[in-house]
């Protein structure tokens, strides 16, 4: 087993359905990832299995109680094959990105907490949580879906989880760029045809086209990703070529549209 994940959730049937399908389900069945769910209701102190109560100070909604959560986290810690890192999926957390997924994938044990209602008692965070993570700035009904987003992303990085290990290396964002466009049969769909370079048999030309498209797509859709990286001379030239083909024919427009790193590369070549 490469990674064990324990999930604290009030809805084990919800997350278990996701964990039983696709690449994640296969990795769990093969033993490449361990996955268990721990329900705070099992640690409630009353016959009704109460896990929430009204917030001190007033206000709308309910708050998840500390004792059932701490009991479930404690049970997960005992089940973990090694001391786990405890992560609470929370809107207040740092935003999850691929580098964060890669960091967590190097652990051997992880406990995730999926909150509900108006959140969890703050004392749980102070006593038992190592870090908080968010998957984005929007509102969901609970932390189960964010937790499973993280679990799925972790699973894809585990050795043996993907049938084609090359898929990991070419995935979008692993190189800091968005992925190039993909095509499959038939060669024509309505008025649109597969780009000729992809069926020409020149593997070097295919690689250059894909790199150009990845750079151009990132520049168009996620320029923030390019702003934070230094482009090589080769990447800078490919991006400029892609921008020219996209219709930016004026040299001034071209230079203005390049990220700072690419402009720096251009200036070096002019010296």
Kindly report, residue by residue over 87-131, the tens digit of the pLDDT: 999 999 999 999 999 999 999 999 999 999 999 999 999 999 999
Average pLDDT score over the chain? 90
- Out of 3.40.50.300, 3.40.50.720, 3.40.1280.10, 3.40.190.10, which CATH number does the structure's domain 3-156 have? 3.40.1280.10
pTM of this structure: 0.84
Of 5-9, 52-56, 247-251, the poorest mean pLDDT is in 247-251
The predicted pLDDT at position 271 comes to 44
Q: What CATH superfamily is the domain 188-270?
A: tRNA(m1g37)methyltransferase, domain 2 (1.10.1270.20)
The confidence score (pLDDT) of residue 160 equals 86
Q: Cα–Cα distance between 93 and 88 in angstroms, integer? A: 8
Q: Say how far apart CA 246 and CA 256 lie, in whole Å.
A: 15
Percent of the chain with pLDDT over 70: 87
C-alpha dihedral over 241, 246, 248, 253, to 10 degrees?
A: -80
Residue 12 banded pLDDT, cuts 50, 70, 90: very high
Q: For residue 262, is pLDDT > 60?
A: no
CA–CA separation, 178 vs 174, rounded Å? 9
Domain extents for the chain?
3-156, 188-270
């Amino acid at each position: 087993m490469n990674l064990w994940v324990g999930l604290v959730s009030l809805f084990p049937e919800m997350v278990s359905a996701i964990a039983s399908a696709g690449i994640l389900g296969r990795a769990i069945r093969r033993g490449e990832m361990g996955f268990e769910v721990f329900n705070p209701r099992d640690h409630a102190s009353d016959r009704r299995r109460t896990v929430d109560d009204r917030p001190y100070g007033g206000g709308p909604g309910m708050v998840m109680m500390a004792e059932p959560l701490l009991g479930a986290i404690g049970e997960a810690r005992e089940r973990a094959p090694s001391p786990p890192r405890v992560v609470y999926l929370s809107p207040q957390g740092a935003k999850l990105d691929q580098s964060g997924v890669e960091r967590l994938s190097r652990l051997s044990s992880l406990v995730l907490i999926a909150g509900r209602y108006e959140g969890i008692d703050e004392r749980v965070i102070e006593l038992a949580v190592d870090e908080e993570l968010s998957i984005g700035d929007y509102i969901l009904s609970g932390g189960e879906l964010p937790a499973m987003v993280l679990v799925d992303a972790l699973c894809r990085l585990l050795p043996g989880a993907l049938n084609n290990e090359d898929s990991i290396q070419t995935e979008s964002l692993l190189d800091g760029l968005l992925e190039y466009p993909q095509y499959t049969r038939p060669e024509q769909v309505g008025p649109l045809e597969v780009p000729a370079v992809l069926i020409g048999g020149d593997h070097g030309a295919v690689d250059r086209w894909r790199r150009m498209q990845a750079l151009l797509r990132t520049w168009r859709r996620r320029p923030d990703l390019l702003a934070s990286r230094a482009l090589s001379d080769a990447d800078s030239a490919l991006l400029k070529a892609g921008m020219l083909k996209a219709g930016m024919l004026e040299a001034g427009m071209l230079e203005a549209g390049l990220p700072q790193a690419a402009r720096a590369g251009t200036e070096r070549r002019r010296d």
